[in-house]
Structure 1
Amino acid sequence: MGRYEKNRDFLKANFEVLDEIKTDAQKKLSKAPLQKEYDENAKLIDLPKPSKDVLVKPNVLECIEDRRSVRKYSEESISLEELSFLLWSTQGVQKLIGNDTASLRTVPSGGASHTFETYLIVNNVQGLTKGIYRYIPIGHKLLFMYEINEMSSKIDKATPRQPFAPNFASKSAVLFVWSTIPYRAEWKFDITAHKKILIDVGHVCQNLYIASEAVKCGTCAIGIYDQKLIDNMLGLDGEDEFVIYLAAVGKV
């Protein structure tokens, strides 16, 4: 049992240690930006405004009751309107607060830290070139990063050891990939930030499950992945920003 103790302790509340720590917030140091900067000349795609018109199953009780992890997808594409709804449901900005230094979103986050960036590996979305994109939540846009050659092979290598349906992720219409920028939470919570980050990413993915059910898409979260490979695929440094969770989405 001894080998479990360290990780079990991590799961426990330890916020009393903050009584002995002066956080960067208390030191009045600058916060991390709400979202990553991007080149003004980058290719940005305006997303349709989220609308209830896209919902096939608007009853939340039915969505929660029917929710399952889905690993088999049809070849039907996802519409841009559906993708817009899924992105808004998982990281949509509803309001900027604190002189635009924080945000209220469709998902909760400890201290409104919202440490996540959303990347998409797009395989079959109407109107979008196959490739890698980043969601720009302030303004609700997509930033096109680059096309990807041998996409299926690279996704398979990045998501190994799937016990129930090997290589299912590469057959999805779009792969949601969430990175975390830990300092957004460390600024306020210091060494206690990291448990909060893991809790928060669960909120995000559960919203994706429920929202996907509402538009008759299937979703499956992915916690087993090749860290270095997926970080490199997205151009992340693996230290100040790194992938923390993935989820495949496709038509059932």
Structure 2
Amino acid sequence: MQRDIGMEFMAASNYPPETRTDEQNGLPRPESPDNSTGPDKITFKLPSPEDTVYSSHSVYGGSGGSCGCEDPAADPEGFGGPNGRRSLFEILRTRRSIRRYSAEEISAECLSYLLWASCGISGESDEFRTAPSAGAIHPVETSLSIQNCSWLPKKDGIWRYNPTEHELSLVAEGIDAVAGLGRACMMQPQVLRAPVVFFWTAKPYRAVWKYGTRGYRDIFLDAGHICQNLYLAGVDADIGVCAINAFADEAVKAQLRLPEDEIVVYAASCGHKRR
């Protein structure tokens, strides 16, 4: 009988674990990685409800300050939420995977919103975030491939997100680093053309420490929650999003400069919709 690695994984991660977890054995909780290293940083202003009134004067625009959303007055059924924003019903109804993007850059304000909405801190401690996580462990980290963004000091490069400070730190500079990730993602057009591509990675032991082998499942579930948040925020900001699971893991890992104990989990491209 042919070996089914998927079923083996499911069996190996059954709950409860067969052995005591490291948490139960009294080992200290693993620390979150320091994502604030490096001299080149971008610190964002946290979004607020007052910022996210989508109109022709929205702060979540690209060049010119408009994010391309329709005027609420022209589409009253589509903007049933407070302050003229789309209702949750409308966001869910219109969510799609968008693969074709215009050449317009994503503004700093818009990227700040997408980062915070996908996995930002929403409470007084970093355990409270916009996306749920088993045991509030939050093992999933966010890296970004960014190109053609004029507001960045290095307009092309790879950046790492620090949710505690709501800031980005430069990992690798230049279009070659961005192009390397495109190749690692099988030259998919949406990756090559997107101004921003999210990459979600994880150090498995942060989840395994608490849940044993079951923690591996939690990592993938957590990444799914984060990606769905990005989709919904994208609809809200009129930004197209497309989830990506076709990539060469080790090649992406090398381009993101990840340590040996960190794995690549998921990705998503983002850009203004091609009209």
Query: Quick check: TM above 0.5?
Result: yes
Instruction: Return the offset for 1:43.
Output: 2.3
Higher strand share: 1
Instruction: Name the residue aligned to 1:94.
Output: 122
Gaps of 5+ in 1: none
Gaps of 5+ in 2: 55-84
Pair 1:27-2:25 in alignment? yes
Match of 2:170 among 123, 126, 144: 144
Structure 2: how far apart are the matches of 1:208 and 1:26? 34
Instruction: Name the residue aligned to 1:249.
Output: 270
Instruction: Name the residue aligned to 2:15.
Output: 15
SS of corresponding position for 1:250:
strand
Q: Is the Cα–Cα contact under 8 Å of residues 199 and 266 in structure 2 kept in the other structure?
A: yes
Q: TM-score, normalised by structure 1?
A: 0.87
Instruction: Return the offset for 1:38.
Output: 4.1
Pair 1:156-2:182 in alignment? yes
Pair 1:234-2:256 in alignment? yes
Q: Superposed, which structure 2 residues align to 1:38-57 within 5 Å?
A: 38-39=36-37, 42-52=39-49, 53-54=51-52, 56=54, 57=85
Q: TM-score, normalised by structure 2?
A: 0.80
Instruction: Name the residue aligned to 2:223.
Output: 201
Partner amino acid, structure 2, of 1:119: S
Partner amino acid, structure 2, of 1:221: A
Corresponding pairs, count: 239
Larger radius of gyration: 2
Pair 1:115-2:139 in alignment? yes
Cα separation, partners in 2 of 1:228 and 1:186, compared to 1, 3 Å: same
Cα deviations by residue, 1:131-188 (Å, 9 ceiling, x for unpaired): 1111111021111223123356423311117xxxx42211001000111111110110
Partner amino acid, structure 2, of 1:10: F
Pair 1:135-2:161 in alignment? yes
